[in-house]
Structure 1
Amino acid sequence: MGWVSNDHEHEGWAAAVAPDGRLSASSSGEGMLVQGITGHYQPDKMLPDYEVVPDREIIGWRGACGCGWRGELWERVTSPAAADFGRRRDFVPLDEFANPSSKVEGAIHDEWKAHLAPLEAVAGVEAAAREYNQAGRRLDKTVAAAKAAGASWADIGRAVGISRQSAHERWAEKQ
C-alpha cells in the first residue's frame, strides 16, 4: 500500500529490501518485484525489466518515495525473540509474505511524512505568497477605482490603515 502527498507530487511506500539492496516496487504471488535483471532471480512474466525475489529472501524494509528519498533500513529477523522495534528489527516468518508488520509500516509512513514536512511547509508558503500577490493586485485595482470615483488619499489611507501620505506614496504612481 502506498501514500500520496497533498500536492500529488510524491508517492511513498514501505518497500521490501532484496539481499542486493534493491527495493521492491510491488509484489506478486511468487514474491517481491524488484527492478533490474541480475540473473539471480526469475524475471517477472508481466514486467520484463523486473525480477521476482522470493519472500523468504527479503532482508527488511525501508521507506521509499518516487522523488528518490529512501528511509533507514528496518531489518527482518528470523525469530520473535530477536525483534526489537527500538533497534528497527521486526520478525516476519520466512514462510510468510514479506510484508512489514503494521507497526513497522506505520513507522515507515511516519518517516515518509517527516520527509515531506519541509516540502509541504514550503508549498504552504508558496500558496500564501500567491494569495498575498493576488490580494495586492486586487487592492491596487480597488484603490484606483476609489480614486477615480473621487475618494481622497486620506479616505483611502484610513480604509487601509495607513496615513494619507503613505497611501499617496504607494498608489499615486499607479494612477
Structure 2
Amino acid sequence: MGWISNDYNHEGWVAFVAPDGRLSGSSTGAGVLFHGITGEYQPAGEFDPDQEIVPDDLIMSWRGACTCGWQGELWHRVGSAAEADIAARREYVPLGDAADVSGEVEDAIQAEWCVHIAPSEAILGVEAAAKEHQQSAHRLDKTVAAAKAAGASWADIGRAAGISRQAAHERWADK
C-alpha cells in the first residue's frame, strides 16, 4: 500500500530492502520482486524479464521510499518477538512468513514520509492563499473602479479600503 501527496508529486511506500540494497514495493507468493538481474535469485519470468524474485526469508530490512528519491531510515528484521522494538526500528517477522511489516511499522514509516512531504504540502496552502489574494485584489480593483464611476470620492474609497485618501488615489487613479 502506498500514499500520495495532495500535489501528486510524491508517492511513498514501505520498501523491502534486498541484501544488495535494492528497494522494491512489490511481492509475490514466491518472494519480493526487484528490478535488475544479479543472477543470484530466481528470474521473475517472461512477463517480468528485467526482474528477479528474492525469497521473503532474505529480506532483513525495510525503509520508507518516495518517487522523488527520498529514502527513510532503515528498519531491521529481528529473530524473535522479544527483540522487536518500534522505537529502535526493529520488527519481528517470522522466517517462513511473507516479509511484510506490521501495521504499526507501516504507520511509523508513513509518519516519517509525511514529515518528508510537509514542505510541499505547506506550499499548497501558500499557493491557494496567493490565488485567493490575486482574485480578491482583482475584485477590489473592479469594485473601486465601479465606486469611482458612481461618483464616490477618493476619501470615501480610502476609508472603505482602510487606507488614506492619498493612498487610494495613488493605487487606483490610473486603473
Q: TM-score normalized by structure 1?
A: 0.94
Give the letter for the 1:149 counterpart.
A
The aligned residue for residue 48 of structure 2 is: 47
In 2, the alpha carbon distance for the partners of 1:25 and 1:35 equals 11
In 2, the alpha carbon distance for the partners of 1:93 and 1:142 equals 69
The aligned residue for residue 28 of structure 1 is: 28
Give the letter for the 2:5 counterpart.
S
The aligned residue for residue 9 of structure 1 is: 9
Give the letter for the 2:128 counterpart.
A
In 2, the alpha carbon distance for the partners of 1:124 and 1:130 equals 10
In 2, the alpha carbon distance for the partners of 1:49 and 1:30 equals 17
Q: Which moved more, 1:151-160 or 1:88-97?
A: 151-160
What is the 5 A alignment of 1:70-89? Answer: 70-89=71-90
How many residue pairs get matched? 174
CA drift at 1:99? 0.4
CA drift at 1:159? 1.6
The aligned residue for residue 118 of structure 2 is: 117
Corresponding residue SS for 1:93: coil
Corresponding residue SS for 1:40: coil
Give the conservation status (yes or no) of the 8 Å contact 2:16–2:63: yes
RMSD of aligned alpha carbons: 1.3
The aligned residue for residue 132 of structure 2 is: 131
In 2, the alpha carbon distance for the partners of 1:121 and 1:19 equals 36
Give the conservation status (yes or no) of the 8 Å contact 1:34–1:50: yes
Corresponding residue SS for 2:91: strand
In 1, the alpha carbon distance for the partners of 2:153 and 2:142 equals 15
**Contiguous gaps of at least 5 residues in structure 2:** none
The aligned residue for residue 97 of structure 2 is: 96
CA drift at 1:128? 0.9
Corresponding residue SS for 2:25: strand
Give the conservation status (yes or no) of the 8 Å contact 1:25–1:35: no
CA drift at 1:24? 0.9
In 2, the alpha carbon distance for the partners of 1:11 and 1:29 equals 24
Give the letter for the 2:80 counterpart.
S
Give the conservation status (yes or no) of the 8 Å contact 2:14–2:25: no
CA drift at 1:63? 0.3
**Contiguous gaps of at least 5 residues in structure 1:** none
Corresponding residue SS for 1:173: coil
In 1, the alpha carbon distance for the partners of 2:49 and 2:119 equals 37
CA drift at 1:91? 0.6
CA drift at 1:9? 1.8
Percent identity of equivalent pairs = 67
